[in-house]
A and B are shown apart, each in its own frame.
Chain A
Amino acid sequence: MSAVTPLLEGRGVTKRFGGLEAVKAVDFKVMPNEIVGLIGPNGSGKTTLFDCLSRVQAIDEGSVHFQGIDITRLKPHQVAHMGMSRTFQVIRVYRKLTLLENMQVSRQWRGENLWSQMRPSHKDVEERSRDLINFLRLEHLTNEPAGTLSGGQRRLLELGMALMPDPELILLDEAASGINPTLVEEIKDRIKTLNQEQGKAFLVVEHDMHFISDLCNRVYVLNYGEKLAEGTPAEVMENEAVIEAYFGS
């Protein structure tokens, strides 16, 4: 029986900023159809590791593999074409584009010729955009500029943009931060649906432990750039080293 290839795998990922080692030789795996959490106190290196895994930041040592392919030297847009999407801690939507346009530009094709790009959006892209907008319950805002949306609505839009290319893996950086509890529940609900019905895998950075424990199959804990623990949400929450890192001895 052959072992299942991890969807995303970091091997000895190390990232330095000058003399500061923000991420120290971290090994990391996300298996297909899994929801994995990444937690840790402020400044523990979560977002840096996230940036390294999604190729937004170059790594200094180690390697990153996606679907068994080494992506350590690829550019972010090339990784996106392979089926990895992400959102950002600070929401990044195109404020002057409408909701629909934000979704449309989030669907790009690898190696598409210039002539095809000069045409208006494909019909199927528009259909998929509208379907996702409906799925996120933002249909009443379809033609509004993204700059007019509330913080929570922008979070949902960002999630929609990450889903547009139909990725295998979606990296969510603090998807629930700064939004009201009702919307947090909606986001959680959408993630569960996508995971259970479409088999999408997620890697989630989050401070809210309820969010993590409700969603994730496994959790990694970072502290000072090092992997402190890994296991099910229940296991890591009972781990003494994790409790000490969060609350002190």
Chain B
Amino acid sequence: MDLFLQALINGVMLGGFYAAMMLGFSVIWGVMGVINLAHGEMIMVGAYLSWLLNEHVGMDPFASLLIVMPVMFIIGYVLQLILINRVVDRPILVSLLVTFGLSIAISNLVNVIFSADPRLTDTALEGAWSVGNVTFPVTKTAIMGVALLIMTSLWLFLQKTRTGKSIRAAAQNKQAARIVGIDINKIYALTFGICIAITGAAGAIISPTQAIFPFMGVPLTLRAFTITALAGLGSIPGALFGGIVLGIVESMIGVYVSGIGTNLAIIASFVLLVVILITRPQGLFGGLRPIEEPVQL
């Protein structure tokens, strides 16, 4: 029973990270119709930025969010204006290829600069709390807390601010948004900037617990796919639910299937993806619009 509870707690905490990690991917897809295959690489860049600040300035990875997020916002904003904006109205295959190329370019560039040596950051938030025989690692609890904070902030931003409402409007009907005076290019650049900032933040908070290396992005992008399919495009409650489901599935398999547990966990997540896409392609929570429905031009 203790083992089960521990696996459950670990799964929920992993799920919280997954939810924050995939939000940017999901919102960009929902609003702009762009499937960003360089998503995992943006997490990796955020993690490296945090590592640089940790290594050279001694900044805690959680504190580094104050620098990582604005820097990643600027990277995202500029990337949208100079690159993504040129392909956003073209068939989805074009943006897939562009972001795929971007992912390869970024990971190899980072490999040239930093080498493939795995790195970790040091954090003051170490140790563990114990409740009975169940352990709550402080770092992972902090990751969960920051993830929840990010999700709540994004939800409030999208629901309450005029820009947030404009972003939701643009996701549902681009032409109608244009015609009422919404500057779509600006909304897209803001959306991309905000999403890349969140994505980079996910990289920074995971850096004390997961090895940072140039090719860490691909499995994270694939998980973002699974959770987006489960949650629905841009759905924040859905992201939390989907992230936690995937986290628990991976954690349980990792604990109860000895030997091949970790590998099987990855396989399980993609079996889950296929099942969801066949049975409920709009996701469990609906989100900004159904996955199968393109952005209305």
Interface residues of A (CB under 8 A from B): 54, 56, 75-77, 80-81, 85-86, 88, 92-97, 101-102, 104-110, 114, 117-121, 161-162, 164-165
Question: Which B residues are CB-close (under 8 A) to A165?
Answer: 180-181
Question: Which B residues are CB-close (under 8 A) to A86?
Answer: 179
Interface string of B172-184 (1 = CB under 8 A from A): 1101111111111
B155 to chain A, nearest CB (A): 14
Main secondary structure of the interface of B (DSSP, over half): helix
Across the interface, B172 reaches (CB within 8 A) one of A96, A119, A121, A164, namely A96
Q: Quick check: B180 and A105 within 8 Å, CB to CB? A: yes
Question: Which B residues are CB-close (under 8 A) to A76?
Answer: 175, 178-179
Interface string of B153-182 (1 = CB under 8 A from A): 000010011110110110011011111111
Across the interface, B161 reaches (CB within 8 A) one of A81, A102, A118, namely A118
B34 to chain A, nearest CB (A): 20
With both beta carbons as reference points, the residue of chain B lying nearest to A125 in the complex is identified as: B162
Complex Cα distance, B177 from A106, in Å, reads: 8
Interface string of B252-278 (1 = CB under 8 A from A): 000000000000000000000000000
Q: Quick check: B169 and A120 within 8 Å, CB to CB? A: no
Complex Cα distance, B172 from A117, in Å, reads: 19
B288 at interface, CB cutoff 8 A? yes
A177 to chain B, nearest CB (A): 17
Q: Quick check: A94 and B182 within 8 Å, CB to CB? A: no
Complex Cα distance, B168 from A105, in Å, reads: 9
Within 8 A of A (CB), among B65-117: none
A150 to chain B, nearest CB (A): 18
Q: Quick check: A92 and B175 within 8 Å, CB to CB? A: yes
Question: Which A residues are CB-close (under 8 A) to B181?
Answer: 77, 80-81, 106, 108-110, 165
Question: Which B residues are CB-close (under 8 A) to A94?
Answer: 168-169, 172-173, 176
Main secondary structure of the interface of A (DSSP, over half): loop
Of the listed residues A93, A108, A110, the one surrounded by the most CB atoms of chain B closer than 10 A to its CB is: A108
Known: A94-B168, A164-B180. A118 touches B175 (CB 8 A): no
Q: Quick check: A77 and B178 within 8 Å, CB to CB? A: yes
Question: Which B residues are CB-close (under 8 A) to A109?
Answer: 181
Interface string of B273-293 (1 = CB under 8 A from A): 000000000000010110000
Question: Which A residues are CB-close (under 8 A) to B163?
Answer: 114, 117-118
Complex Cα distance, B161 from A120, in Å, reads: 4
Q: Quick check: B178 and A75 within 8 Å, CB to CB? A: yes
B296 at interface, CB cutoff 8 A? yes
Known: A92-B296, A105-B182, A161-B180. A121 touches B168 (CB 8 A): no
Complex Cα distance, B188 from A77, in Å, reads: 14
Known: A92-B173, A94-B169, A97-B172. A56 touches B179 (CB 8 A): yes
Question: Which A residues are CB-close (under 8 A) to B160?
Answer: 120
Complex Cα distance, B166 from A120, in Å, reads: 12
Within 8 A of A (CB), among B123-176: 157, 160-163, 165-166, 168-169, 172-173, 175-176
Known: A105-B165, A106-B180, A118-B161. A88 touches B172 (CB 8 A): no
With both beta carbons as reference points, the residue of chain B lying nearest to A95 in the complex is identified as: B172
A24 to chain B, nearest CB (A): 25
Q: Quick check: B180 and A104 within 8 Å, CB to CB? A: no
Across the interface, B169 reaches (CB within 8 A) one of A75, A97, A162, A164, namely A97
With both beta carbons as reference points, the residue of chain A lying nearest to B173 in the complex is identified as: A92
With both beta carbons as reference points, the residue of chain A lying nearest to B159 in the complex is identified as: A101
A99 to chain B, nearest CB (A): 13
Question: Which A residues are CB-close (under 8 A) to B165?
Answer: 97, 101, 104-105, 121
Complex Cα distance, B82 from A220, in Å, reads: 43
Of the listed residues A94, A101, A119, the one surrounded by the most CB atoms of chain B closer than 10 A to its CB is: A94
Q: Quick check: B172 and A120 within 8 Å, CB to CB? A: no
Question: Which A residues are CB-close (under 8 A) to B296?
Answer: 92
B224 to chain A, nearest CB (A): 22
Closest 6 pairs (CB-CB, A-B) = A108-B181, A92-B176, A80-B181, A106-B180, A76-B178, A117-B163
Question: Which B residues are CB-close (under 8 A) to A80?
Answer: 178-181
Across the interface, A105 reaches (CB within 8 A) one of B157, B169, B183, B184, namely B169
Complex Cα distance, B178 from A107, in Å, reads: 12
Of the listed residues B160, B183, B286, the one surrounded by the most CB atoms of chain A closer than 10 A to its CB is: B183
Q: Quick check: B176 and A88 within 8 Å, CB to CB? A: yes
Question: Which B residues are CB-close (under 8 A) to A92?
Answer: 173, 175-176, 179, 296
